[in-house]
Structure 1
Amino acid sequence: MLRQAHDAGQRAFGENYLQEALEKQTRLADLDDIEWHFIGGLQSNKTRDVAEHFDWVHSIDREKIARRLSAQRPAERAPLNVCLQLNVSGETSKEGVDLDALPALAEAILALPNLRLRGLMALPAPSDDPETQRRAFRTVATALETLKTRFPEAPLDTLSMGMSGDLEAAIAEGATLVRLGTAIFGSRPPRSPADA
């Protein structure tokens, strides 16, 4: 299905699961113009593979992970594009940095030589109400504007927000990257814990 999407003109592909992504990258190695985005939660033991095989990481929420990615980025590759994951809904079960801690994390990442801070990513709490959706995405857009003012030298041009169920609200609030896997490829089959 990814090859069919590529044939139709799609070039940016997002992946949540590292092992699955690496298998896909191997099978699609002949397509050298794919831009690979890692959008899943990132643990220390996975940073080397992500640093070596991806063009973007959307889920940075800790300085430790960012430092590992920068240190492990191969010298022959361009700096890794990264987005900070903002916990916009304040859910303790969600990954992401709190709004108050965002400027300090951004400042730390801007000092890392092999990362290029591009913007923010968020996964708001699910809602069927368009205004609730828009309010959450507006918070992310406002946070990005605040970062742009504070760090004018940074290429902060990316709002990675919105999925198949709330893409209209995300786009209305300025999303530049949306994740539409379910809309394009259908629902994922259930995963076993061993697949993670």
Structure 2
Amino acid sequence: MRESVHSGNYMSVFNRFFANTRAVCILIAMGVFAVGCGERETPPFFTAQVIDLFGQATIVKNLKILYTWEERGETPFLKPYSYYAKELIAEVMQPVPGETRRVKIETQKIPLMDIQRVSFIREEVGTRIKIDLKNGNQIMATDRFPQILKRGEKTGFADYKIYVTGTVASGSKPTPFKCAWDMLKQFEITTIAETR
């Protein structure tokens, strides 16, 4: 009689072990699939002709704008951040009514879907960005890094950069493309698609 009790305990321990192992495997599989699902991109997908400062034109597929920055708070340690966007976040210059020589600067988020062309105009003091919209309107912006991206309340930007990213057809497989904002002459959205 005692042997059967012990063998039953071994079986219950054995069953619990396999049940726990299965549960752990299921949780791990769910985590792996959840990460994979989170990285899927949603339409629309943009194709653009990107021209750098040297006049080299590149057709870039799956165009996005990458904002990267670091913030410094009360400690000397920097926290890095990045944000991929299908919108242009710009510090836009608006004329002050009644004062022809003054402008106010406000942040605007302009979807890439509404943009026809973005041109970078280099001047002595800095760079202005001319944004031509598909509806015929034009927006002038500064090249300042968007202040609304700052995450901390008592932090400041320590380092920041904006890039145009995507992929370039190179033979049979696409290769990553990345060009810094300050190395661009212009980019023009040529195609908007619902699938890649």
Q: Judging by fraction of residues, say which structure has more strand.
A: 2
Larger Rg: 2
Higher helix share goes to which structure?
1
State TM-score, norm by structure 1: 0.24
